[in-house]
Structure 1
Amino acid sequence: MLRLILLCCFFQIAFFSDAPCTIDLECMECIPDNMPLVTSHRASNSSVVIPVGDEVVFSCGGGRLLAYPLLSTVSAVCEAGRYRVRQDTKLRHLLELGCQENIFEDVLHTVEHCVSPLQGRAYQVVEASRSTRHLATMCFDEDRGLPAAARVSNAAANALRMPPHSEQRSPLTLLGNFNHMFDANTRHAAEKLYSDDVRMNRRLREIFRHEKFTFADQALTGAKLLSSYYFDDQNMRVTDFVSNRVPVWKSVANGNLHHMHRDVAKFMKLARPHATLDVYAGTHGVLSLRTGHTRTEVFLKPERFPVPKYIWTVVHDRKSEKALAIVVLNDPFVAVSEIREAVFCESACGRAGWLLGLRRQRNYEVPLYGLAFCCAAHDFTAVVHEMPHEILKNVPAGNGGMLTELYT
């Protein structure tokens, strides 16, 4: 009997000792809050797999590791799903190897075509060499607490082409100090608002209590404007910043907004060997709900944090000067008689061969899931001024300028 128990233990140890070290980048509970970059292995399908015996290198860029305050980089060997650290030979779980601060930064930054009163922002990472790599830029409406337009690229490592500029932090002026103070206040308010869907929807229903509006089973959630899937696997956590959140109805967020995000992400990866695509995303308008004989605009705080009427994405191939704008109507309550007015261009979604998920079963035409329509560049910018028209000025009008074909 004792021999049988020992034999079972031996097989268990042998089995688990062959277990690789897997880092699931989408599992928030499985990785540190400030996850270091894995610089020795590539991620695939949102996970990094390190075979037993392989050495892995974790880097905090310009920061330091929590367990090793003097080090920004640490090497470890995978042993039975954990990491034997070279520096002190200790066997550690991944959660112990986080960085002291998030390696990704959301900073105030000069952004091309982003003019006052909009605020320029950059999502960036400081490399171990102290150089800065920009992953996305954003024009943020600080007054209303809402992202107006953002940009990301399918270039390698999501590196954005930026006009020449300095990353040096110069002493702040009085105006600069005020900008940072208001920015910090907005972030705090947004984090509180989007951290709890129950509290957000309780606030929404309180606002409309006297109008007695019937929300049925609909509820708001804080959805991402730039999808995690737009970024290379290890960069996907850059989308967790609260400035990237917008209030969206859950049926829309889980419906056509989700399908649009996945289709655009797949197209970005498919196009990478052939073309560098710029992807812009933003919001337009304020949703209004019919209360009696009038319509009431939806703000989650007085004149701040509006629920956007439209959430849009523009995919632009600068080399061929072709583009396509996809618009999702964030209004599951829209009446059939109001659809013609809400759809402000002749939709071309049916001709876009790469919108596979969105077009499946024609659910993109269902308002409950977020009515989606596709516009030619100039038809789109004539209505949506959050998208700078200068960027698409060389795109031919009509079908000739529409990015509808798959890259082969």
Structure 2
Amino acid sequence: MGLLRLAVLVLCFQLAHFTDPPCEMELECAECVPDNMPLVTSHRAANGSLTVPAGDELTLACGGGKFLAYPLRDTLTVQCEAGRYRVRADDTLRHLLDLGCQESIFEDVLHQVDNCGNLQGRAYLMRSAGAQPSRHLAALCFDADRAVAARLRMSNAPHNALRVAPHSDAAAPLSLLGNFNHMFDATTRHAAERLYSDDARMNRRLRELLKHEHYSFAEQSLTSAKLLSSHYFEDQNMRVTDFVSNRVAVWRSVAHGNLRHVQRDVAKFLALSRPHAELDVYAGTHGVLALRVGHDHTEIFLKAGQRFPVPKYIWTVVHAKQANKAVALVLLNDPFVSVSEIREAVFCESACGRVPWLHELRRQRRYETPLYGLVFCCSLRNFTSVVSEMPEQLINVPEGNAGMLTELFD
């Protein structure tokens, strides 16, 4: 009887241990993680989430900063316990939301960027602990006057380390102009966060702008979308795409249609190519959407002073450095475009049918349907002859088919 009771107790313990809930982190869910989420340096994330079995230990790190609940520590060891975390430092059981850093590990900072012209150079950095330099994850040219990104760049290199020209990231004393720029940046960032965080507010504003023209939106509405997809980046680096300078206004059917398809195909191509070839991705906007009101066209800006434009085109360029080939994927952000206007809107002979890795985009041939965001694929030379946001001297690939990036790398 005693042996039977012991066996039952052991079985109950095993079942309790087996059914103990794991610790889950949805790194793309803002409500599920702290405002300033630490890095998990002991485990790998996948597709924006991390699941840790009960009993596993994790190492959390705040880079060059400290934890909010532990202001003297930049790393913590915790153990998953019933979906929460037992902190080794003081044996306290905490929810993940209580284990945030004092500051974000990722930064959006003013930065020298080549070929930005008169636009503002910025960089997305990941801060490192100690004397280690910050890692550059993306660089961008931002039109601060119009409050829209002209061009961003990232890489599928290991850890998404972007190659940039030699420079110093050390903070220099700010000049009067530098202080002014920082104040202006804060105002623009606040306005952008307010605008892009609330679709209802954005669409009320849009309808107010055109209410006297009695424009029919045919149940269409605007939403905000990322120019660089989070899935272009490895593991936890995807959180760097959350900066508002990476967002623009896009029609909902376009965002959920061909923009999503393009970004999924590019993300998969980057992942498949990573072991074999280093690719750079450039993404940006071109032009301002103009809605036809009667016999006239009205350009759409969501703020006064021709700021926060709804872009006419959203584009992505994928460049294979070693092969010296590239392709430009251009999306028309205009579900209202008429058949007679399409010929003028498509400014190159499309080669999408010759790019086999565009699986999601080409699967149902909806990339030719304006409702979902008409997409066309250009050679780089044809693309840069129209889109000034991508200077011709930035990438030099052969003309025609010789310079077209169509094949997979293996």
TM-score by length of 1: 0.95
| Aligned match of 1:359 | 362
Distance in 2 (alpha carbons) for counterparts of 1:15 and 1:66: 33
| Aligned match of 1:193 | 195
| Aligned match of 1:301 | 303
Alignment partner for residue 335 of structure 2, among 300, 314, 332?
Answer: 332
| Aligned match of 1:377 | 380
| Aligned match of 2:70 | 68
| Aligned match of 1:129 | 130
| Aligned match of 2:271 | 269
Secondary structure in 2 matching 1:198 = helix
1:168-204 CA distance string (max 9 Å, x none): 1111111111111111111111111111111110110
Look up the equivalent residue of 2:125 and give its one-letter code: Q
| Aligned match of 1:401 | 403
Distance in 1 (alpha carbons) for counterparts of 2:48 and 2:178: 38
TM-score by length of 2: 0.95
1:297-328 CA distance string (max 9 Å, x none): 01111211110000000000111110000000
Q: Does 1:143 align with 2:152?
A: no
Secondary structure in 1 matching 2:216 = coil
Secondary structure in 1 matching 2:356 = coil
Look up the equivalent residue of 1:113 and give its one-letter code: N
Look up the equivalent residue of 1:356 and give its one-letter code: H
Distance in 2 (alpha carbons) for counterparts of 1:11 and 1:157: 39
Distance in 2 (alpha carbons) for counterparts of 1:41 and 1:79: 16
Secondary structure in 2 matching 1:213 = coil
Q: How does 1:63-102 map to 2 (within 5 A)?
A: 63-102=65-104
Contact 2:62–2:105 under 8 Å retained in 1: yes
Q: How does 1:209-228 map to 2 (within 5 A)?
A: 209-228=211-230
| Aligned match of 1:229 | 231
| Aligned match of 1:31 | 33
Aligned residue pair count: 401
Look up the equivalent residue of 2:197 and give its one-letter code: S
Alignment partner for residue 312 of structure 1, among 310, 315, 327?
Answer: 315
| Aligned match of 2:115 | 113
1:111-153 CA distance string (max 9 Å, x none): 111121x100111111123420011011000000000000010
Look up the equivalent residue of 1:260 and give its one-letter code: V
Identity of aligned residues (%): 68
Considering only aligned residues, what root-mean-square deviation do their CA atoms show, in Å? 1.7
C-alpha displacement of 1:391: 2.1
| Aligned match of 1:54 | 56
Look up the equivalent residue of 2:223 and give its one-letter code: T
C-alpha displacement of 1:45: 2.7
C-alpha displacement of 1:363: 0.6
Distance in 2 (alpha carbons) for counterparts of 1:37 and 1:14: 27
Distance in 1 (alpha carbons) for counterparts of 2:49 and 2:187: 35
Contact 1:36–1:98 under 8 Å retained in 2: yes
Contact 1:16–1:80 under 8 Å retained in 2: no
List, as ranges, runs of 4+ consecutive aligned residues in structure 1 with deviation greater than 4 Å: 6-12
Contact 2:110–2:123 under 8 Å retained in 1: yes
C-alpha displacement of 1:338: 0.5
Contact 1:55–1:77 under 8 Å retained in 2: yes
**Structure 2, gaps ≥5 residues long:** none
Contact 1:25–1:233 under 8 Å retained in 2: no
Distance in 1 (alpha carbons) for counterparts of 2:22 and 2:190: 39
C-alpha displacement of 1:241: 0.9
C-alpha displacement of 1:10: 6.6
Distance in 1 (alpha carbons) for counterparts of 2:311 and 2:137: 25
C-alpha displacement of 1:27: 2.5
Q: How does 1:275-290 map to 2 (within 5 A)?
A: 275-290=277-292
* CA 1:54–1:11: 2 relative to 1, 3 Å: closer
Secondary structure in 2 matching 1:23 = strand
C-alpha displacement of 1:12: 7.1
Distance in 1 (alpha carbons) for counterparts of 2:149 and 2:207: 24
Distance in 2 (alpha carbons) for counterparts of 1:115 and 1:166: 20
Distance in 2 (alpha carbons) for counterparts of 1:154 and 1:58: 25
C-alpha displacement of 1:342: 0.2
1:337-366 CA distance string (max 9 Å, x none): 110000000000011011000111101000
